[in-house]
Amino acid sequence: MSETKYALVTGASSGIGYEVTKELLRRGWYVYACARRTHPMEELRAEFGDRCIPRKLDVSNQNDITQLKLKLEQELPDQKLHLLYNNAGQSCSLPAIDVSEEIIDNTFRVNVYGPINSCREFAPLIINAKGTIVFTGSLAGICPFPFGAVYSASKAAIHQYARVLHGELGPLGVRVINMITGGVATDIADKKTLPEGSIFNFPEGIKAVETRKKMSEKNQPMSPADYARETVNDIENGSIDPVDIYRGTMATVVKWLMLLIPYALLEWGLRKKFKLYPAYSVLNKRQLQSQRQRQRLLENTIKHD
């Protein structure tokens, strides 16, 4: 008889996390569906019964993770967790020099500290099961999309963590998969507005930022259900162990662009795609006007002296 499988999915209340949870339940898994809001998972519980186990979890809160670990140690048969799916994420689409310390801290607590803390706490349960750890990575972690410096940095950090973890836990029978994710139709787009003092806070600059925020929805993103089905296939196919797997719209295309396109050409293409050149034109004109004003003030001062 096959062993009953147990999974823990973070960020399970919507988007990728919700659909991965649903796909696992369809295939007979027991799933700890974890998120700050558990109400959205109640319909899954109604459909799949006690195999769906909603749990309130804020991955940025170490105490939440520790308390959940203690519960799992009591509830899991033989203390075996077969899948830890680190999906909870925080978006951030702002110019690099506009991101406040608070936003930086929140982004890294959710996107980096949360998964790392979760892996540390739940690792004994995963090792017991010779299970799988999955991260929802991002193309932003490999490609320098404009207005995504902090989000990209957080994803690049977790990509590298996943790769090192793969090397360390592989000999113990644990698979580690970094899902480098392209376009998926979720509601993760950043809704923060530009700070009032931003150098891009003028019509052309705002248009460039909004173009970046709508990047995914304008490129025929994959449905979360399709993404979840492919991802769970990867998880259940124990014969593959590549560390990085590319899923979602444009994922494979961007992978090859990053390998083959000269960096200067890549930057030019990104600036053009995200409508940055009209914004730069305005900024350069403002800078030139400012220089002329300073020059005139200097000349007037010299005359008066």
CA 129 to chain centre: 26
- Does residue 165 lie within any of the structural domains? yes
Q: Which amino acid, residue 104?
A: I
Q: Are residues 123 and 255 in the same domain?
A: yes
Q: What are the backbone angles phi and psi of residue 202, rounded to the nearest 5°?
A: -150, 165
Neighbours of 106 (CB within 10 A): 15
Q: What would the 3-class secondary structure string for the chain be?
A: CCCCCEEEEECCCCHHHHHHHHHHHHCCCEEEEEECCCHHHHHHHHHHHHHEEEEECCCCCHHHHHHHHHHHHHHCHHHCCCEEEECCCCCCCCCHHHCCHHHHHHHHHHHHHHHHHHHHHHHHHHHHHCCEEEEECCHHHCCCCCCCHHHHHHHHHHHHHHHHHHHHHHHHCCEEEEEEECEECCCCCCCCCCCCCCCCCCHHHHHHHHHHHCCCHHHCCECHHHHHHHHHHHHHCCCCCCCEEEECECHHHHHHHHHHCCHHHHHHHHHHHCCCHHHHHHHHHHHHHHHHHHHHHHHHHHHHC
Question: What residues act catalytically?
Answer: 13, 151, 155
98 vs 104: CA distance, rounded Å: 10
> Is the residue at 46 inside a domain?
yes
Residue 237, in any domain of the structure: yes
Structural domain contains residue 1: no
- Residue 250 domain-assigned? yes
84 and 188, same domain (yes or no): yes
What's the pLDDT score for residue 289? 83
pLDDT score for 234: 94
Pair (249, 147) in one structural domain: yes
Same domain, yes or no: 199 and 237: yes
Provide the residue range defining the domain that includes 293.
275-305
Domain count, the chain: 2
Write the CATH number for 87. 3.40.50.720
Q: What is the pLDDT along the chain (305 residues), one digit of tens a residue?
A: 478 999 999 999 999 999 999 999 999 999 999 999 999 999 999 999 999 999 999 999 999 999 999 999 999 999 999 999 999 999 999 999 999 999 999 999 999 999 999 999 999 999 999 999 999 999 999 999 999 999 999 999 999 999 999 999 999 999 999 999 999 998 777 778 899 999 999 999 999 999 888 877 777 899 999 999 999 999 999 877 889 999 999 999 999 999 999 999 999 999 999 999 999 999 999 888 877 887 887 777 776 66
Task: Identify whether residues 204 and 303 lie together within a single domain.
Answer: no
Q: Looking at the structure, do residues 134 and 158 belong to the same domain, yes or no? A: yes
CB 213 within 8 A of CB 190: yes
In a domain, 242, yes or no: yes
Place of tokens 């376009």: 183
Question: 83 with 108, same domain?
Answer: yes
- What pTM does this model have? 0.91
Is 171 within the bounds of a domain? yes
- Per-residue confidence (pLDDT) for residue 240, from 0 to 100: 74
Considering the domain architecture, whether residues 281 and 259 belong to the same structural domain is answered as no
Same domain for 235 and 289, yes or no, is no
Is residue 160 domain-shared with residue 279, that is, in the same domain?
A: no
Residues 193 and 256 in one domain: yes
Same domain, 251 and 284: no
User: Is residue 22 situated within a structural domain?
Assistant: yes
